[in-house]
A and B are shown apart, each in its own frame.
Chain A
Amino acid sequence: MTQLAEITRTDTDGVAVVGITGEVDLSNVTTIEQQITHGLAADAALVVDLTSLEFLDSIGIAMLDRVARTIPSTRLAAPADGHVARVLGMVSLDVPIHDTPAEAAKAALTHS
């Protein structure tokens, strides 16, 4: 079975940038969550890059919410005119969203 989603991790200047490609749903949300937070301390600077994410539903949003609570510096990267941003805009989520991973990383560093 092909993976619904793939995770990519890059550490740049102390900021962990985790990119999610593909789809997140109930079937892989737990795995994704573990992969995102894997090896990160609560004070780590985290950017979750949703630029290439195809599908995100409330379960995925809830997962992102949980990640942000675990790692308060979490920033999300999603183009404002993209689908994901629109989905995220539909619900109340206290995680800042930035247009690009670079902007998000800068903000994450500032926070932490």
Chain B
Amino acid sequence: MALVVAIATLGGWISWRSYNSLKDQQRANVRQLAIATAATVDQFIARSRESLVTLGSDPSFAAGDRLTIQRHLGDLNNVGGDFTGGTAWIDAGGTLRASAPRVAPRDLGWRRDVRAALDEGRSAVATTVGPMVDLPAITIAIPTRAPDGTVNGVLTGSVNLPTLASLTRGLEPEGMDLRVVDRAGNLVIGGALTRLEQAHAASPVAQMRREGSGTVEGVTGPIGRPDRLLGFKVLPDPDWLVVTGILRTDAFASARRSFRNELLSLLAALFVVVGATVFGARRLRREHLDEDRRRARAERLRDTAERLISATSERSVNTITCEAIAATPTVAWCAILDGNDGSSLAQAGPVPARLALLPDRDDQPAATPVAVQPALRANVTLDDDVASSLRLFTMRLPGGETDAHAMIGLRASPTPGELDEIGAIGEDASQARARAALIARERVLRAQTELIADVGANVEAALGVDARMQRLVASLVPDFADMAMIEVDDGAAAPHVAVDSGVDIGARQNAGILATARQAGATLLRSSDPRLEAIPAAAVSDDDGVRFLVVPIRSGERVAAALLLGRNAESPPFVPEELTVAQILAERVAMAFDQARLYEEQRDIAFTLQDSLLGVPELAVGDQVTMAAQYRPGEGSLEIGGDWFDCIPLADGSVALAIGDVVGHGLSAAAAMGKLSSALRALALNGAHPQQVLQRLDVFARSGAERVMATVASVVLDPRTGVIEYAAAGHPPPLLIEPDGTTTFLWDGRTGPLSATRTRIAPPARATMCDGACIVLFTDGLIERRGEHIDDSLARLADAARRVFDRSPHEMAAALVAEMLGGRRLTDDAVVMVTRLGYVGRRHRQRFPATPRSLASIREVARSWLAAVGPLTSDERRLLLLGLGEATANAVEHAYRAGQGSLHIELREHPRGVTMCVTDAGQWRTEPPSEDRGRGLDIISQLFDEVHVATDDTGTAIRMEYVFGARSKVTS
């Protein structure tokens, strides 16, 4: 056994020696061949470059004139140039402009040699296929320059590889094969290289690039394969590698075979012994390694899944996914690109700068790595070095808002386990993206819900349709849209339009969007949308990229308004969720508008009467009551408050007066006021006395869902007797002013405000108005002044009323407002209502000294006054003069007796007749009438249809009514 081993060892040693010497010789040969070939190729390239430089010196290149260049290149081609692969001129933009043979312009800016010439101004060499012919070629590129020295293009000349091969063919020694590969490992000349040889051929270049320097010539090759030794010589500029492959010669083969046989017999013996143990150990170790890898992979996946779960935005999901894929052992880099525009969403690792997406493939299953494929130059533009050393695949990531694709660059072919890992990351990522999208959508919806609430509240804070429209558009810009416009058709001749616009879309007013909205329903409109054609051109304008959203606003079944929202090109477009938001908003707005209309209607109802009362200077109720009112709204109280007044003629000839003040302002106060005033009117018309009116109104005020707090005063005046009944619920007392200047506040008949206290009936209260007297009803806004005691306020009012008593009710009311309020800002509404008892019509009032001499003057005045009273005959005038004479004579006699000084006459004409009033400070009938006086009264009573005599502590008033055409007893 030992002998066998010894002999075998000796034989093996001899074989080894001869084999080694043979190998050394071959190494030297290989090296020589490499150097010689390299020199040939280098010379060839240098010659070609010189030739190209000569070619490029033609003035046509300096001029950059494409047509001349084209003709020049074509001519050269015809005479037969050195460049069997053709010539081409590429402009500074990287586009091929002229070529021979001629081809269509195309972008060659991506090519490394073209870039080197354009960007660095140096010549470069590359192996290419095309562009002019399909044969592989060596292309030499040199920059061409404009007269000022700047690079204006690239001139390339290509030499087909077979042409080059014919040059080097003679160099091949016996038993060797010549190979020329470029620095990327692509074969240029010779037969195919094995993958192992390719790797070794590329390694010196790779080493040089890595270290910045390295062996420029030498021998390399697979260990243990002396027949596959590779000699190399790296050319300085183009980085050519010239390789010789040693062919298997017989001598080499036999030496190798004997050595191998010896070695085999030795090894066979050892193999049996060692094999078993080694095999077992290695297998054990491999299993161990596999297990480690699996565990690490599982751990990575778990980490990734946890990070993905905590990610809330698509952006962070993309980042995490990218990092996780890049962390997989064979992956060099990973980029996530937007499928729509190719923009980068996330990157990890050394991602190539110029990266474009592979064409989308419909059959590509989601989240499943496609078969690993070499980079496709046609679709992905990469630096040559990246493309040559990497493999690429893409993986689509579904879920989420964007169409995302992961592009993954590999260092080597991945194992199935790594592909699984990448696929699992992809699936996790897709779920996480969907989740993030959901979160983002929820976030948007929540923000928009808040927007709806904000806008709604903002809109509802205004009263009236126009105010609300303005609020609406103002609150939508710029949070929801860049412009907002609303058009409301409430039946008026021209629709209301409100516009708010951050941009100049506001010029498109009255665009008729309502009609469009009615046609289109809620629609997302783009400016390119044909439905927008329905909107007149002004609405579309020429702003490309402005997107419109038209939202109809319904009132019942009818589209009563339309909201037009616009977003600029810079703003994000409307998404379907926002359409929903806009519709919800529209419903809310529709309700707000309905409410506003209702409010306006209620307000209109409440104010119709007051408007009619305020609209005329004075309102005549029947023949004997004149009423006028002044209303001053409080400032900042939204146009109307809760004050109201009313004047209601009753069936029995009486007149009901009412004034009220509802606590609060705005819509609810106005509505309550409307209800209360209607109820009071109904009660008064029904014949209720003031006490009953207030008691029932109190019940009414408590009856609704919300109690209405209010103060009210109610007065019923009987013009025939001058008697007034009155009651007040918490309201300031009415003020009575007599013709002689006496003022009285009517403090009786009071209860607390409506709804405020327990219902009770006010005590009956009465007073008498003398003819010509005034009653003033008012709300506390008229008298309240900060820091002033109520008694002082009332005294001020009484003073003012006395001063202006001689004026008409209208003038009185205006004067009272002016006197009491002046120019003060009102915090509360103020109403003052002046009612005078006395005929309405032509009137003369005059005060005379109570002396007999006045009587003639009185007659003179009365005679001329009566002359203008149309319906009277001259007889009637004389009789009326007689009646007045009797009354005034009476008064003068009284005045004599009472020792007082004046009497007052009032002559009034009204539609039915004439009224004469005489007031004095004396007293009638306090003593038995003398015969004379009796005769006077007798005359008066015969002359007039009605005679009223009122006597109290202060004097006597006689009122005589004469009715036109009813004179039978005297005139007949």
Which A residues fall within an 8 A CB radius of B?
4, 23, 25-27, 55-59, 61-62, 83, 86-87, 90-91
Contacts and interface: CB of A to CB of B under 8 A. Distances in A.
A26 B852 contact: yes
A57 B939 contact: yes
Given A26-B852, A27-B856, A57 B931 contact: no
A90 to B, nearest CB: 5
Nearest to A57: B885
6 contacts: A25-B852, A26-B892, A56-B882, A57-B885, A62-B931, A83-B879
B327 interface: no
B884 to A, nearest CB: 10
Contacts of B878: 55, 83
Interface in B862-915: 875, 878-879, 881-882, 885-886, 889, 892-893
B885 A55 contact: yes
> Which are the 8 A-B pairs with shortest beta-carbon distances?
A27-B852, A58-B936, A26-B852, A62-B932, A58-B935, A57-B885, A25-B855, A91-B935
Nearest to A27: B852
Interface residues of B, number: 26
B496 interface: no
Interface string B908-939: 00000000000000000000000111011011
A101 B77 CA distance: 162
B859 interface: yes
Contacts of B932: 58-59, 62
B886 A23 contact: no
Contacts of B943: 90
B361 interface: no
B856 A90 contact: no
Contacts of A87: 882, 939
Interface string B932-972: 11011011001100000000000000000000000000100
Contacts of B935: 58, 61-62, 91
A86 B970 contact: yes
B853 interface: yes
A56 B889 CA distance: 12
Nearest to B875: A83
Interface of B: 851-853, 855-856, 859, 875, 878-879, 881-882, 885-886, 889, 892-893, 931-933, 935-936, 938-939, 942-943, 970
Given A62-B931, A83-B875, A25 B856 contact: yes
Contacts of B875: 83, 86
Q: Label chain B's interface by main secondary structure.
A: helix
Contacts of B889: 25-26, 57-59
Given A27-B853, A57-B882, A91 B931 contact: no
A59 B934 CA distance: 11
Given A57-B936, A91-B938, A26 B882 contact: no
Contacts of A91: 935, 938-939
Contacts of A57: 882, 885-886, 889, 936, 939
A83 B938 CA distance: 17
B885 A25 contact: yes
A35 to B, nearest CB: 17
Given A62-B935, A91-B935, A23 B856 contact: yes
Contacts of B886: 57-58
Contacts of A86: 875, 879, 970
B898 to A, nearest CB: 16
Nearest to B896: A26
Contacts of B882: 55-57, 87
A15 B889 CA distance: 33
Most chain B beta-carbon neighbours within 10 Å: one of A25, A57, A87: A57
Nearest to A4: B856
A23 B938 contact: no
A56 B855 CA distance: 12
Most chain A beta-carbon neighbours within 10 Å: one of B856, B933, B938: B856
Nearest to B935: A58
A24 B875 CA distance: 18
A54 B516 CA distance: 87
Contacts of B852: 25-27
Contacts of B853: 27
Contacts of A56: 882
B646 to A, nearest CB: 45
Contacts of A26: 852, 855, 889, 892-893
B859 A58 contact: no
Contacts of A62: 931-932, 935
Contact of A55 (B881, B893, B933, B938): B881
Given A57-B885, A58-B938, A91-B935, 13 more contacts: A4-B856, A23-B859, A25-B859, A26-B855, A26-B889, A27-B852, A55-B859, A58-B933, A59-B936, A86-B879, A87-B939, A90-B943, A91-B939
Contacts of B942: 90
Nearest to A28: B852
Contacts of A58: 886, 889, 932-933, 935-936, 938-939
B958 to A, nearest CB: 14
A4 B852 CA distance: 12
Contacts of B970: 86, 90
A23 B860 CA distance: 11
Most chain B beta-carbon neighbours within 10 Å: one of A26, A59, A86: A26
A102 B942 CA distance: 31
B931 A90 contact: no
B883 to A, nearest CB: 9
A18 B853 CA distance: 24
Contacts of A90: 938-939, 942-943, 970
Nearest to B885: A57
B881 to A, nearest CB: 7
Contacts of A55: 859, 878, 881-882, 885
A56 B938 CA distance: 15
Contacts of B851: 27
B855 A27 contact: yes
Contacts of B931: 62
A25 B859 CA distance: 10
A101 to B, nearest CB: 22
A63 to B, nearest CB: 9
A67 to B, nearest CB: 14
Most chain B beta-carbon neighbours within 10 Å: one of A4, A27, A61: A27
Nearest to A59: B889
A66 B311 CA distance: 127
B222 to A, nearest CB: 159
B158 to A, nearest CB: 144
A22 B18 CA distance: 183
A90 B936 CA distance: 10
A25 B890 CA distance: 11
A62 B930 CA distance: 11
A21 to B, nearest CB: 14
Nearest to A25: B855
A58 B936 CA distance: 5
A22 B127 CA distance: 148
Contacts of B939: 57-58, 87, 90-91
